[in-house]
Amino acid sequence: MSVRQRVQDYRERMRAQGFRPVQVWVPDTRREGFDREAARQAARVAQADAQFDDQDFIEAITVSWDE
């Protein structure tokens, strides 16, 4: 049995079980500059998390003008 036939049979079995194929594109970690971009995005997420915590603190100690 050829590889092509085995793949086709596998796909038919999976479809019969109610599955469908999905293609997923992911970042190429081997690409030049990937590590710098990942670090940049991680720093922005960390910064946003820190700002969110600060805002929670400010809201916790703030008293409404009406009170």
pLDDT tens figures, 1-13: 899 999 999 999 9
Domain ranges of the chain: 3-61
Q: What is the pLDDT of residues 53-64, one digit of tens each?
A: 777 788 888 887
Q: How many CA atoms lie within 13 A of 51 on its CB side?
A: 6
Contacts of 45 (CB under 8 A, 6+ apart): none
Q: Supply the pLDDT for residue 47.
A: 85
pTM given for the model: 0.46
The yes-or-no verdict on residue 49 having pLDDT over 70 is no
Average pLDDT score over residue span 16-45: 95
